[in-house]
């Protein structure tokens, strides 16, 4: 499938562009933003990431969707929403600029990623993972209906700027039928609330 841009009530999900570099580097190069990742990225590494994301989006059969996530009302690029490794084990993820934390954007991005993964890409199963110390990230996974299916003990290093300690990692997953049931339950709840 070709890269597909889409929008929701509040967001535009589009291809990343080279002109996005300043804001992308502002989160990828910042230790607060990247504290649960292996390390911050240099300017050169950020350019390589953007080049990879842009070339992935231009492939005839896209296997890695990196969506620049834009608030439609303001035009602000607040992060990226990702569905990647489609040819191995589909995984979703998100990175949100620290200025936009604690606004519910991550949960909304996660829900839209699942809608795209199951509704558009027709995936059967999708996973997501995070550092076990990243409470905000795994709470998003739980809010969007994913279930924890693995706890890997001391399996990844934390950011070099933060002592590079060994940390646990959680893996979450959701199946198409679980997502479908969740959507049906939400629709029923909305109808009951309206009535």
> Cβ(118)–Cβ(101) under 8 Å?
no
Average pLDDT over every residue of 117-132: 95
Give the predicted TM-score (pTM) of the model. Answer: 0.88
The answer to whether the beta carbons of residues 113 and 94 sit under 8 Å apart is: yes
Alpha carbons 77 and 11: distance in angstroms, whole number: 10
- Is residue 80 within 8 A of residue 46, CB to CB? The reply is no
User: Tens digits of per-residue pLDDT, 31-73?
Assistant: 889 888 878 899 999 999 999 999 999 999 999 999 999 999 9
Mean pLDDT, residues 138-145: 96
> 160: pLDDT confidence band, cut at 50, 70 and 90?
low
User: What is the dotted CATH code of the domain comprising 6-194?
Assistant: 3.40.630.30
């Amino acid at each position: 499938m070709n890269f597909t841009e889409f929008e929701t009530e509040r967001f535009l999900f589009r291809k990343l562009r080279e002109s996005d570099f300043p804001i992308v580097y502002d989160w990828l190069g910042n230790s607060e933003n990247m504290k649960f990742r292996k390390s911050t990225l240099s300017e050169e590494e950020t350019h390589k990431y953007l080049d990879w994301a842009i070339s992935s989006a231009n492939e005839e059969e896209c296997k890695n969707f990196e969506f620049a996530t834009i608030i439609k009302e303001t035009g602000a690029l607040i992060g990226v929403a990702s569905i990647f490794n489609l040819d191995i084990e589909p995984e979703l993820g998100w990175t949100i600029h620290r200025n936009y934390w604690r606004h519910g954007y991550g949960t909304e991005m996660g829900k839209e990623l699942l809608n795209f993964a199951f509704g558009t890409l027709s995936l059967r199963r999708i996973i997501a993972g995070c550092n076990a110390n990243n409470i905000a990230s795994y709470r998003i996974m739980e809010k969007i209906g994913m279930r924890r299916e693995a706890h890997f003990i001391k399996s990844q290093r934390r950011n070099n700027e933060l002592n590079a300690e060994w940390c646990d990692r959680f893996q979450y997953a959701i199946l198409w039928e679980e997502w479908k049931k969740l959507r049906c339950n939400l629709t029923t709840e909305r109808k009951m609330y309206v009535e």
